Structure 1
Amino acid sequence: MVSITEAFVDSLAPNASAMKNGRDLAKKNSFSELCITADETLIFGECKGSGKEPYLCSVDFLRPETPVFRCSCPSRQFPCKHALGLLYAHTLQKPFEVAEIPTDIADKREKAEKREEKKKESELTDASTDRSKPARKVNKAAFVKKINAQLEGLSILEKLVLQIVHNGLGSIDKKSLQLMEDQAKQLGNYYISGVQAALREIVLMMKSADKEMAYSQVIEQLIRLWSLVKKGKSYLEQRLAEPERPMDTETMLEEQLGHTWQLTELKQFDRIKQDVELLQLSFLSYTDHARSEFVDAGWWVDLQDGTIYTTRHLRPFRAAKSMKEEDTVHALVTAEELYIYPGEQNARIRWENVKFREADAEKFKRVKSLAVPTFQDVIKQVKNGIKSPLALKNPAALIAFHAIERVGDTMVLRDVQGKQLTITNNFISGSINSDSIIPLLPKDDLNDQAALVVFQHDVENRRLGVQLLSIITDCRMIRLLY
């Protein structure tokens, strides 16, 4: 049986509401029966419901990596609050009586085992058959058709960007914005959804009440779009001329154009790591109006080499209610297979099966030891990166600092060599103003520790600023952005 920790149960909950309701059921002793089998592979019980009869719920850990949830309640959430409550009751060390496995669950297990056996037999048959078959070839006609459509879409965008620059931002009115919105919708027919979203961002920026700020952002976005058009056309033309040419798996260009990477593709291109230990350093949920989706984002550190990765769980508006909402993870995560999406900085990652366990002081010390000791190398790397308009706007880094202190009206991070980084705020949506939090922390937390920061380039003042996301000490982590 897996180690059932609170963090593990939290990770299973479909949303924060289900998490809270499950905890409440356990804390209010709503379970009239709590049982566990002798081999600890099944926990089950009865929970008070709105009707006369209690709900029968269970969590089956016969296969620890894929627990099976069952409940007699009518809820469409999966797992429901009753199954979660059962797990929370276990974490709260409520008394579980050792009992035999219920007959109906034993029957379901037997049927599941038979299905699994048939599946394995089928896979073996398919594998032996595939060896005698030649590798499946790419449909060249479909490939050429798609590339030509993408090139046509980029040409349309190129003309639009030139038109906006030629007429000037001051000429953009409601009619122009409506036209841009219509053109953004039309780009959806050209297999370049990433470019389509980038154009929508300009429309949203121009609708902002602060026109002066919007103009600065729009100019930066237009430069980004222009670079995407030029690099995208050059890349697609090369692929059109050489259909066997492999996809770009080093940069985010494919994703920026709109390609959705499949796990099979990442595995094919060897973008995978085995047995990786990760610790989440920060988390944020926000709304991406340009793409019409909610985003649950996390920043993670690889405890082997200190690489900072990101996760992005995307929930389109139209399907958000039926999708699980991600939440902060405090536990140490061990991934058997870690899939790494193309990207040069803070690459996006994904996994399918992971194990959770509590993060102890040794792990925090390990994180701290992985921090870059001085700012100079990090600053150089960030500056080289942001020279490209298509680079990550706000790269994250784990850095060691000698002190956090106030210099004049601003807070700064200072390293052992005296190099300073100005702490800025609020360029990450939904974040907390660190100026009001830092003075409340003990002095020991502000000296000779490590921090996760994200960088922002201040174009007007020509300097880099950082937003402080987390502070990592020898024994704990302080999150300023949750």
Structure 2
Amino acid sequence: MNVTEAYVDGLALNAGAIKNGRDLMKKNSFPLLCVSEDGAVIFGECKGSGKEPYRCSVDFANPASPVFRCSCPSRQFPCKHILGLLYAYADGRTFQTAPIPPDLQEKRDKAEKREEKKKETAAGGSGSPAKRKTNKSALVKKAAAQLEGIEIAEKLIRHIAHSGLGSLDPKSLQLLEDQAKELGNYYIPGIQIAMKELLFPLRSDMGKEERYSLAMEKMLTLHVLLKRGREHLGKRAENPDTPLDLETTLEERIGHAWQMAELRENGLSLGETGLLQLAFRSYADEARGEYVDEGYWMELKSGSIYTTRTYRPFRAAKYIREDDSVYEVVLASDPVRYPGDMNARIRWEEAVARQPQDSDYELIRGRAKASIPEAVKQVKNQIKNPLSDKHPVLLLRYTAILQQNDQFAIVDEAGNRLALADIRHLAHPTTGLLPMLNEGWLKDQAMLLMFEHDMEQGRLAAQPLSIVTGQSLIRLMY
């Protein structure tokens, strides 16, 4: 059981929860701190606002998925009392060895029985549940409603195209936004978000040319999404046995919310594997009305770069765990991959962590693409697809970083060059940090890059996110 401050930070929902938990530990708010004889459970009592203290515990029977319990009424979980208990343990405070309280032991026993029943079920025991049956009638009705919603969205797009982007004043934009809200009644939340993303730049204060260029790009994406969505849902309405699209992001872009069990059933499980986060960022997506926590990870077995993405609606952000930078190697138990292309999204439920070693960094550096032309070709092929991620991330090997005035470029072993520049999508400059790097990091290393098609310049732009050496990971953005 390796409980460190960094580990506890990673469990907290947000920065406020971290502060509150640390404050409880610093103020010695725990009159009782205990650990079970086998070391698997830490528990204690924390002073609260009432007469009775809050009883909190952390059960590490399964280190990859610890169980948190607290008697407080907080809707945040793990609450500040649990975090304070863990910070006290990580800080080396004295925990007396004590028997597990009877009520807590009873809960543990019930949890163990549930887990045993699950294992019996997975092994094909008598308790095996019947396979899920698809309600074909409901599926056909849903597809019909989705097609009706797509028809409404197509009418809105035609109206915008006929009127022209320049003719959309605040009053007409408000009318379109109100109509876009109605799309939420037709089971197509992904298309509704795409419509919001089209309208949002038209209300922004960015330059006129940039505003219309971005709106045109979003309108093209939405046009293709509606066309392919209509074709796909039309087949499903005619034949409810039509399989889900497991190759592209079409289902998710229409609005399908993938379940982990569903992804496993469709063969999208990665099995037990190790991952190391190469870059991380959090940003506010005003069009979606959500905060987005986004991490880029290399899967050590295959060298594939995957994405983790957590969406936190503005109104409920404080109740949803806020992701953060991770510096350890995460050993995930059976993560699943979403349909997608270069940087497919992944998720996992259980994981443990270990400190990265030089061999991990050397392995990652060795996985980097060696040829700039081949890397650029791969990126361009993805960007050409209207429904693919327009900002793919790729790890590229370089022999040198060159600078001429304020311009930077990397060079591969064949002498090919790739210009580096900050991109609009990130809105977080990193290229200017390159002259500050250690001289040894400027030669024969690997660089994680995010790409973007610069419409104004008519060229491909690449912004550095991180540098991987044989001994370390240098993050330029976090």
Tell me whether the two structures share a fold, i.e. TM-score over 0.5: yes
In the alignment, what sits opposite 1:221? 218
Q: How does 1:166-185 map to 2 (within 5 A)?
A: 166-185=162-181
Match of 1:312 among 309, 312, 329: 309
**Mapping for residues 72-83 of structure 1, pairs under 5 Å:** 72-73=71-72, 75-83=74-82
My pick for the range that moved more, 364-373 or 236-245, is: 236-245
Which of 357, 361, 364 is matched with 1:360 structurally? 357
The offset of 1:114, in angstroms, is: 5.4
Q: Which residue of 2 aligns with 1:288?
A: 285
Distance change in 2, residues 1:128/1:33 (3 Å): closer
| Deviation string, structure 1 residues 444-466 (Cα, Å, up to 9, x no partner) | 12221111111001123222111
- The question of 1:231 aligning with 2:203 is answered no
Q: How does 1:327-346 map to 2 (within 5 A)?
A: 327-346=324-343
How far 1:241 sits from its partner (Å)?
3.3
Give a deviation string over 1:83-141, Cα, whole Å, max 9, x none.
Answer: 22332233333444433434443344345445656x5599599964768x6x5543232
CA distance in 2, matches of 1:409, 1:299: 28
* Cα-to-partner distance string for 1:53-82 (whole Å, 9 max, x where unaligned): 765433222333332333455544322223
For 2:72 and 2:134, how far apart are their aligned partners in 1? 47
The equivalent residue for 1:38 is 37
> Post-superposition shift, 1:324?
1.6
Q: 1:308-332: per-residue Cα shift (whole Å, max 9, x none)?
A: 1001111223322222222211111
SS of the residue corresponding to residue 316 of structure 2 reads helix
Q: In 2, distance between residues paired with 1:100 and 1:243?
A: 56
Which residue is 2:453 aligned to?
A: 457
The answer to whether the 8 A contact 1:8-1:331 is kept is: no
5+ residue gaps, structure 2: none
Identify which range, 271-280 or 143-152, moves more after superposition. Answer: 143-152
Unmatched 5+ stretches in structure 1:
none
Q: What CA deviation, in whole Å up to 9, does each residue of 1:225-282 have, x standing for no partner?
A: 1111222222222333333221110000111111111112211211111111001111
Write the deviation string for residues 383-442 of structure 1: whole angstroms up to 9, x where unpaired. Answer: 1111111111100111112222313432222222222222222523452x2243222221
**Count of aligned pairs between the two proteins:** 477
- What is the alpha-carbon distance in structure 2 between the residues aligned to residue 54 and residue 243 of structure 1? 55
Compared with structure 1, are the counterparts of its residues 158 and 52 closer, same or farther at alpha carbon in structure 2 (3 Å cutoff)? closer
Secondary structure in structure 1 of the residue aligned to 2:413: coil
* CA-atom RMSD in angstroms: 2.6
Query: When the two structures are superposed, what TM-score results if normalisation uses the length of structure 2?
Result: 0.91
- Counterparts of 2:271 and 2:441, CA distance in 1: 34
Contact 1:364/1:476, CA 8 A, preserved across alignment: yes
Q: How does 1:239-254 map to 2 (within 5 A)?
A: 239-254=236-251
- The one of 224, 247, 265 equivalent to 2:262 is 265
Contact in 2 for aligned 1:7/1:331 (Cα 8 Å)? no
- 2:147 maps to 151
**Letter of the 1:40 counterpart:** G
Which deviates more from structure 2 when the two are superposed, residues 384-393 or residues 153-162? 153-162
Cα 1:38–1:426 change in 2 (3 A) is same
Structure 1 167/346 Cα, relative in aligned 2: closer, same or farther at 3 Å? Answer: same
Identity %: 50
Task: Measure how far apart 1:47 and its partner are.
Answer: 4.6
State the shift of 1:303 in Å: 0.7
Give distance in 2, aligned partners of 1:230 and 1:177. Answer: 23
**Partner Cα distance (1:33, 1:212) in 2:** 64
8 A contact 2:372–2:416 mirrored in 1: yes
